[in-house]
Structure formats: structure tokens, C-alpha cells
A and B are shown apart, each in its own frame.
Chain A
Amino acid sequence: QKEVEQDPGPLSVPEGAIVSLNCTYSNSAFQYFMWYRQYSRKGPELLMYTYSSGNKEDGRFTAQVDKSSKYISLFIRDSQPSDSATYLCARGPSSGSARQLTFGSGTQLTVLP
């Protein structure tokens, strides 16, 4: 089982729709989670960071962690064509001085005008 599983999509929605992107993780010790957006042939761009459980909101984006089900979600409200990209979830290290992020395989999103 991969440490972070992500539905690869592709996901296609009309402009203005609410988008839900999801990941599951395997180890309940993980506490730090991030969402990155990656446009084609570009580096990943940090969107949101969450620690432990609960919700975090930033403009049109909401990140949610449900530790009981080991589920992390990113919601995009009022989606725009410029949101078309691959969205990557990642978890931080579980302990110690380790620093690496472990990524899911990404979900490709297309927002149709």
C-alpha cells in the first residue's frame, strides 16, 4: 500500500463548479499535510498546509483533514479555467529529524469555460 493514495482522475468540471479532490493516507502518525498545484511542465506550487485535523480556508480553497478516516480533501469553490492543473497532496515526515515530503500521484483537473 502506498503511503499516500490519490485518485489520478482526470476530473473535468464546468466553470463555477465546486471541486472536491481527495487523498487517503496509511499511517495515523502523519500530522502534516500539504496541497500543491502543478501546471504542465512547471514545478509544484504550495497551495495550502494543514496540521493535525480540521479545516483550513484560504480564499476559494478549503483543506480538510479527517484523521479518523485518514482522509484529506481540497475543495475549490467557484472554479475557474485557470484552476486547470494537477493537484498533488503530500504528507510531511512522521517523526524525528526527517524532512522529506511524500506525495500522491496527483489528480489532473480541467475546468471548462
Chain B
Amino acid sequence: DTGVSQDPRHKITKRGQNVTFRCDPISEHNRLYWYRQTLGQGPEFLTYFQNEAQLEKSRLLSDRFSAERPKGSFSTLEIQRTEQGDSAMYLCASSPRRGGPRSYEQYFGPGTRLTVT
């Protein structure tokens, strides 16, 4: 299966520690997105890359969050000095290089569930 993959699937960390998540998009998808989802809510947008360029950042993405996509393929999301409020599912999605309305379709990975104790 060549869907979006994320690693790790689960992460438990202590408050104040740094964590890093990885996302591998569907091959040949040039757009990559990060979302955060808490229990009982829909995903909330964090940031978006087209190739290696980070083109959008949500105000949810505080200074403790940083995302990279250095070669336009996989992406990492780092959270520094984690807080209990960071506990959530972190979802990655990708979309293909196509024009028109269907360019907005996004395909999600399984997510990384973060628990901050």
C-alpha cells in the first residue's frame, strides 16, 4: 500500500520534553499538510507545504512547533517543551499535483497519538 504513513503511531512523553513526528506522503504528491485532532473534534489545520516550501501556517502553530520538508518528500513536525495541552492526534495528509477543484482532495495518514504526562 502506498498511502500516507506516519511514525511513530503513539508517543508518550513527559511535560517539557521535545518530540518529533515523521510523515511520508503518497509518492508524487507535492502538497503535504499537518493537522491536529482532539477528542470529539474534527482535525484543525496546522501547516501546509508545497514541495519544500512552507506556504501556510495556522495561528495554532505556536513558537514551540516547527515543521520541515527539506527535500519536498517526507516531513517532520517537532514540538519543543511539550505541554499537557499538546496531547492530541497529529495527522498528516497529502494531495496530488493536479489542477481544478480536485486539487483540494487530501488523503490522510493514520496519525500519531501524542500523550503528554
For residue B17, CB closer than 8 A to chain A, the reply is no
Interface size on B, residues (CB 8 A): 27
Asked if B106 and A101 make an inter-chain contact with CB atoms under 8 angstroms apart, the answer reads yes
A29 to B54 Cα, complex, angstroms: 25
Q: Mark A71-110, 1 if CB is under 8 A from B, else 0.
A: 0000000000000000010101100011111111110000
A106 to B110 Cα, complex, angstroms: 17
Stretch at the interface among A13-21, A37-45, A57-65: A37-45
Chain A nearest CB from B9 CB (Å) reads 9
Select from chain A the residue with minimum beta-carbon distance to B92. A43
Instruction: List the count of A-B residue pairs having beta carbons below 8 Å apart.
Output: 67
Interface size on A, residues (CB 8 A): 29
For residue B74, CB closer than 8 A to chain A, the reply is no
Select from chain B the residue with minimum beta-carbon distance to A98. B56
Asked if B45 and A100 make an inter-chain contact with CB atoms under 8 angstroms apart, the answer reads yes
Residues in A whose Cβ lies below 8 Å from that of B33 = 99-100
For residue B101, CB closer than 8 A to chain A, the reply is yes
A103 to B41 Cα, complex, angstroms: 9
Of B4, B55, B91, B105, the contact of A97 (CB 8 Å cutoff): B55
Give chain B's interface residues, CB within 8 Å of chain A. 4, 31, 33, 40-45, 48, 50, 55-56, 58, 91, 95, 101-102, 104-111, 113
Other 14 A-B pairs with CB < 8 A, given A43-B91, A46-B108, A99-B48: A8-B40, A36-B108, A42-B111, A43-B111, A44-B91, A45-B108, A46-B105, A46-B106, A46-B107, A92-B101, A99-B33, A99-B55, A99-B56, A99-B95
Q: Which 8 A-B pairs have the closest CB atoms?
A: A103-B42, A100-B45, A43-B108, A92-B104, A51-B101, A44-B108, A43-B110, A43-B111
